[in-house]
Structure 1
Amino acid sequence: METRRLRLLVELSRLGSMRAVADVTGATTSTVSQQLGVLAKEMGAALIEPDGRRVRLTPAGRRLAEHAAVILAAVETARLDLAPGAEPNGTLRVAGFATAIRAHLLPLVTELARTHPRLHLLVREHEPAEALQLLAADETDLALTYDYNLAPADPDPTVHTTALWTAPWGLGIPAHTEVPDTAGTLGVFARFAAYDWIVNSRNTADETVIRTLASMAGFTPRITHQADSLDLVQGMITAGLGVGLLPIGTPTFPEVRLMPLTGPQVMLRAHAVARHGRLTWPPLALVTDLLARRAATTAGVIPAPAR
């Protein structure tokens, strides 16, 4: 069997539609369908079945997709092992959110320049969904992402995730507002049921957290404003435009009060994500290990405010 057909099956299991697979692989929808048909004949089993106007994997198709992920990872490992000078040729491409880059990746640059001068980092700032799209399209080697305990990311069998650090978040409110310090999370949320709410403009995770906690507190939040910068979120709170989530420990503006959310807690969880088959590539393995070590030694240290 040809590995390119296995890749089409893996992408179909991940994306859920022939058209999406065609877009990702640069093929036509008819070519994708034809190649999956050939693969089904080679395996002697039906791999896909109609699902309304779309298709879905049969049980045999899902099982083969699991095998295919392992097979493709092994092929990739062999390619990198036999061609150590191949692309990315000493350049590790990293896409991640601002805090991870600023507080954890950039401090490694000086160290790497001294200890591994032939290793170069190419850094791009992106929110998690954007970074994962780049990873899926093989436009980055390492994605630094985050989710929340109350808004976990969907599992993806095509990638490997390394946990880095966690950080508690609270609710940024106008400093003059009276709220008991002992109020629980739902009590704090209920106090601001009539307020406008500020969320991230490039990621939906914090909006999911806000909607979840608001529902538990018995109201539907009026989400009106969006901002990517946490400094801008504080500026909006100062201007009276609403309230929004902020990391505990971050320096606050004089007009902003940061309320802890004690039960349930809101925890941001940072991750290093890479494709299977590349985990033993030395530049990727080294930087992932250094990030994990740094996260362990700086646990509890709150970096400069940024998502």
Structure 2
Amino acid sequence: MDVRRLRLLLELSRWGSMSAVADELGTTTSNVSQGIAALARDVGVALVEPDGRRVRLTPAGRRLAEHAVAVLAAVEAARLDLDPDAEPRGTVRVTGFRTAVRRSLLPVMDDLTARHPGIQVVVHEHEPPEALDLLAHDAVDLALVYDYDLAPVGWRDDHDVVPLWTTQWGLGVPARDRTGGGDDLAAYAGHDWIVNSRNTADEQVLRTLASIAGFSPRIAHRIDSLDLVADLVVAGRGVGLLPRDREHRDGVRVMPLRDPTLTLRAYAVTRRGRDRWAPLRALVDGLTG
């Protein structure tokens, strides 16, 4: 059904005459009559019947006019929701890795909802490969992801990528360990190593660093949680790469890497053109402002 014809029917139910509807909408009585007749053909039932020199709605016409209230309200809500100049309103679905959610997203959510109470943000925690797959299938609106300078992401043509922040990573070892330094990774060639269980970039970086140092790492553990990685390090069950700017539990020492260094880079990623949607634009602006 053409929503413009529904508008004619709704106004007819309110004003009671086609000429009054024409005056209200700034058109002609003939256009109103033709529109109502076309709507009747669309639905396959009579919507008006003669009432002296005027017309009145049939029972079917009255029922359709009642539906028209909700339908036209929904259409208007959708128009406002998609209008880039309207007050942002809607649910923004965000996925991201834990550090970005804590460091980038949580600090802006309170301010965002205070300035735009019509925006709701829902959050799902995923590693970058999972997050980018959800973004590709329109299951989320925004992905907070990371890569390393030694293992860059291959961005798709339809990605809009906004850099957020960077942080240096180092080698996490037991605080009591005196095997070597970050510039002597080969000193740990005989150790068990810990890598991420959900993102192969961590293993790719480790293998690159180990190759430069002249050895192949013996990967014993695949762990998603940085806290659990630290626990294993303290227990002497392995060593692994950890962020240097994070507070780790007692018993962990994170040594800087040299020749080469290792930098994690965080990004906010959307599908190209999607950030013209006002709620998403407001959130991205908050993340980068």
TM-score, normalised via structure 1 length: 0.65
CA distance in 2: counterparts of 1:85 and 1:238, whole angstroms: 51
Contact 2:90 2:119 in 1 (8 A): yes
CA distance in 1: counterparts of 2:173 and 2:255, whole angstroms: 7
CA distance in 1: counterparts of 2:80 and 2:220, whole angstroms: 51
Cα deviation 1:265-293 (Å, max 9, x = unaligned): 11000011100121221111111121112
- 1:242 and 2:247 are equivalent in the alignment: no
In structure 2, the CA distance between the partners of 1:272 and 1:136, relative to structure 1 (3 Å rule), is same
Number of aligned residues: 208
Contact 2:89 2:279 in 1 (8 A): no
Residue 178 of structure 2 corresponds to which residue in structure 1?
178
**Candidates 196, 211, 215, aligned match of 1:215:** 211
Residue 260 of structure 1 corresponds to which residue in structure 2?
256
Residue 286 of structure 1 corresponds to which residue in structure 2?
282
Listed as ranges, the matches of 1:90-239 within 5 Å are 90-179=90-179, 184=183, 187=184, 189-239=185-235
Query: How far is the alpha carbon of 1:100 from its aligned partner?
Result: 0.8
Cα deviation 1:88-141 (Å, max 9, x = unaligned): 961111011111111211121211121100011011111111111111110000
- 1:251 and 2:243 are equivalent in the alignment: no
Contact 2:197 2:222 in 1 (8 A): yes
The DSSP-based 3-state class of the residue aligned with 1:83 is helix
Query: How far is the alpha carbon of 1:84 from its aligned partner?
Result: 3.9
**Aligned partner letter, 1:250:** R
Cα deviation 1:221-240 (Å, max 9, x = unaligned): 00110111111001001111
* Structure 2 gap segments, 5+ residues each: 1-77, 83-87
CA distance in 1: counterparts of 2:247 and 2:213, whole angstroms: 28
Residue 273 of structure 1 corresponds to which residue in structure 2?
269
In structure 2, the CA distance between the partners of 1:289 and 1:174, relative to structure 1 (3 Å rule), is same
Contact 2:169 2:262 in 1 (8 A): yes
**Aligned partner letter, 1:138:** D
Contact 2:144 2:266 in 1 (8 A): yes
CA distance in 2: counterparts of 1:201 and 1:152, whole angstroms: 18
Query: How far is the alpha carbon of 1:255 from its aligned partner?
Result: 2.0
Determine what percentage of the aligned residue pairs are the same residue.
52
CA distance in 1: counterparts of 2:201 and 2:230, whole angstroms: 19
In structure 2, the CA distance between the partners of 1:202 and 1:165, relative to structure 1 (3 Å rule), is same
CA distance in 2: counterparts of 1:207 and 1:138, whole angstroms: 28
CA distance in 1: counterparts of 2:248 and 2:273, whole angstroms: 43
* Structure 1 gap segments, 5+ residues each: 1-81, 294-307
CA distance in 2: counterparts of 1:133 and 1:201, whole angstroms: 17
CA distance in 2: counterparts of 1:153 and 1:94, whole angstroms: 19
CA distance in 1: counterparts of 2:180 and 2:133, whole angstroms: 42
When the two chains are superposed, the root-mean-square deviation of aligned CA atoms in Å is: 1.9
Residue 68 of structure 1 corresponds to which residue in structure 2?
none
Query: How far is the alpha carbon of 1:247 from its aligned partner?
Result: 0.5
CA distance in 2: counterparts of 1:85 and 1:165, whole angstroms: 31
CA distance in 2: counterparts of 1:191 and 1:261, whole angstroms: 13
CA distance in 2: counterparts of 1:157 and 1:207, whole angstroms: 26
The DSSP-based 3-state class of the residue aligned with 1:165 is strand
Query: How far is the alpha carbon of 1:180 from its aligned partner?
Result: 5.4
**Aligned partner letter, 2:242:** L
Task: Please say which structure displays the higher CA radius of gyration.
Answer: 2
Query: How far is the alpha carbon of 1:179 from its aligned partner?
Result: 4.5
Query: Which of 247-256 and 124-133 deviates more?
Result: 247-256
The DSSP-based 3-state class of the residue aligned with 1:107 is helix
Query: How far is the alpha carbon of 1:85 from its aligned partner?
Result: 2.8
CA distance in 2: counterparts of 1:98 and 1:272, whole angstroms: 13
**Aligned partner letter, 2:207:** R
